[in-house]
Structure 1
Amino acid sequence: MLREFGPEIWIADGGRVTVAGFCYPTRMAVVRLSDGGLFVWSPVDLTDGMRAAVNAIGAVRHIVAPNSLHHLFLPAWADAYPAARLHAPPGLRKKRPDIAFHTDLGDTAPSDWAADIAQVLMTGNLITTEVVFFHARSRTVLFADLLQQIPAGLITGWRAWIARADLMVGPEPNVPRKFRLAFVDRRAARAAVGRVLAWRPERVLMAHGTPVLDEADAYLRRAFGWLLG
C-alpha cells in the first residue's frame, strides 16, 4: 500500500511481473503537485485498496510511463481515471497503439509539473529511452530500468547465472550490463547523467531495487562510473 517516502511523495510496491522468465518486483511513486493534483509514476497493478489510498491523498491528474517497457498497467489506470492525462515516453505510443496517450514526454518538464518535477531523456540506448525525473521537494531522483537490484531469491537456475552476469543482482542497485552495451551514443548519455547529478539529489528511487536514502551523489557516480570515466 502507499507509504510516505518524503514531502509530498509516496511509494507503493506492486505485484511481481515476469519477463522472459525473469521475475521482477515492481514499484510506483505518487507525487502531489503544487496545484494539489497527483502525478503517478510507473503505475503498478491497480487494486481496490490502491485506488482508495491514492484517492485519499488527491485527484489523479497525470499518469506517466517512464520508458517503453513500463506499460502493462496503464490501461487499468486510464480507465479508472478518465480525467487524468496519460503521458508517453519515446517509443511507447507506437508500441501500444491501443492506448490513447495525451502527450509525449520530452527532455524538459512540461508546464503541468515543471514547478515540482524536472526531467531528462536518457537517449542513445537501443533498448529504450528512459525519462529520468527529479522531485525537488523531496530531493528524489526516479529511475525505472536503468538502475536495478533484483532479489537473488526471485531468480533460479540458469537465469540466476545470467542475472549475476548482467549485474541485475548485487549489494546495491546497478546499471544492468545489457543497458550499458545498448548505449550507442555515450556522449548523449553522459550529458544526461550530468544533468541528473546537477540536480544534487539526496535520494534515488527505482522501480526494481532498494531505494538509496543517503549519499546519492556518490552512489550515482559509482553506478554510472563506467560511463562517466
Structure 2
Amino acid sequence: MGPMVHSNPEAVMVIRDLVPSFLTTFSLPFSRGGVVKFGGRATAVKLSNGKIAVFSPVSLTNDVKKTISSMGGDVGYLIAPDIEHHIHLNAWHDAYPNSQILAPEGLPEKRKKQSHPPLPFPYVVTASNKSTILPPDLAREFKLEYSPMHPNKELAFLHIPTKSLIVADLLFNLPAKEQYSKAPESHGGVLTSLVQKFLGLEGEAKGQLRWNWWLAAAKDRKGFAEGVKEIRAWDFDRIIPCHGDVIEGRQNSTGAWDKVFKWFLDDSVKK
C-alpha cells in the first residue's frame, strides 16, 4: 500500500477563505490505506477574541503557517473531531505550544497504544460532559454534539456566526474534487470509484444511509438518532466535511443531512 498522506503537501494544498476574516479551509489529497482517495481538510476559525480554533489539523506546510499568521497567528485550540483525525496534532502543538487540545474520549489512550509522542489533553469530550466541556470562548461561538456510539467517536460543531456545520466522518461528500484539484493524477482506481459512489450524495445516497444505519449507529440507533436530530435542528447553511467537497447553501446542506440520516430522522422507522 502507498502512503496515506501526499509526499509533497505544499504542492497540492488548496487554501480557501470560505468566510473572509472568519473561516479558512486547508484541503489536500488523503487516501485510506494508501488506496482509496478520500481527501483531507482542516478548518481554521477565528474567534471573536482573536484566538484561532483548528479542526482536524492537516500537514503544517509553510503556506499553512503563513495563512495562520495572516489570521493573527494565535492558535488557541486544536480540535480532533474524532479518534481518527489526529495524526498532525504533534506538529501543530509543537509550532503553537499555547494551543489546547480538545478531543473525544478514547483518543489519548489510542495515541498511547500507537506510541505517538505524548500530548496534553485538557478537554476530553464524554457523553456526560458534552454540554459543559467547551471553554467559554468556544462555547460562545459553537454548538457541540457527540456521538459516542459511532466507532470513531464523532464530534460535530456548529460555528454559529457563519452557520457552518463542521464534521469529520459523520457525513461524506465524495468524490473529493477540491482536495485533489492540484493532484489530478491521484484520483484513480476502481476501488476508489466504488467507494466514491457508495459514499457519495447522488440520488438518495443509499450507500451512505446504509453505512450509517448498519455500521456507524449499530451499537445504539436510538441514541444516534437523538444526536442527528439535534444537529438537524441547528441553524446551518453550510457543511464542511473532512472528506469531500464543502456543501454550500441551506437547501443543499439540510438536504444532504436529510438523505444520509433519513431512517434516523423518521420516527416511524423501527430503531
Superposition TM-score, scaled by structure 1 size: 0.88
| Shift in alpha-carbon separation, 1:42–1:172, aligned structure 2, 3 A | farther
Matched, 1:168 2:168: no
Matched, 1:25 2:1: no
What's the CA shift for 1:3?
2.0
Equivalences, count? 226
Q: Is the 8 A contact 1:148 1:173 kept in 2?
A: no
Q: Is the 8 A contact 2:209 2:260 kept in 1?
A: no
- What corresponds to 2:4 in structure 1? none
Structure having the higher strand fraction is 1
- What corresponds to 1:80 in structure 2? 95
What's the CA shift for 1:46?
0.6
**Counterparts of 2:39 and 2:191, CA distance in 1:** 19
Matched, 1:143 2:167: yes
- What corresponds to 2:11 in structure 1? none
Matched, 1:102 2:122: yes
Structure 2 unmatched ranges of 5 or more = 1-13, 177-185, 267-271
| Secondary structure, aligned partner of 2:167 | strand
What's the CA shift for 1:181?
1.7
- What corresponds to 2:257 in structure 1? 220
**Counterparts of 1:20 and 1:180, CA distance in 2:** 27
Amino acid at match of 1:143: V
What's the CA shift for 1:60?
0.4
- What corresponds to 1:6 in structure 2? 19
Residue of structure 2 aligned with 1:180, choices 204, 208, 213: 213
What's the CA shift for 1:159?
5.4
Superposition TM-score, scaled by structure 2 size: 0.76
**Counterparts of 2:211 and 2:75, CA distance in 1:** 34
What's the CA shift for 1:228?
1.7
Matched, 1:116 2:146: no
Measured against aligned partners, the alpha-carbon deviations of 1:152-171 in whole angstroms (never above 9, x if no partner) come to 8835234543x157x22453
Matched, 1:197 2:228: no
Q: Is the 8 A contact 2:167 2:239 kept in 1?
A: yes
Report the RMSD for the aligned CA atoms in angstroms. 2.3
Q: Is the 8 A contact 1:41 1:66 kept in 2?
A: yes
What's the CA shift for 1:25?
0.7
Q: Is the 8 A contact 1:64 1:86 kept in 2?
A: yes
Amino acid at match of 2:199: M
Structure having the higher helix fraction is 2
Amino acid at match of 2:254: D
| Shift in alpha-carbon separation, 1:164–1:76, aligned structure 2, 3 A | closer
What's the CA shift for 1:110?
3.2
Between 103-112 and 86-95, the greater mean CA deviation after superposition: 103-112
Residue of structure 2 aligned with 1:208, choices 227, 239, 243: 243
Q: Is the 8 A contact 1:172 1:210 kept in 2?
A: no
| Secondary structure, aligned partner of 2:264 | helix
Larger radius of gyration: 2
What's the CA shift for 1:122?
1.6
Q: Which runs of 4+ in 1 moved over 6 A?
A: none
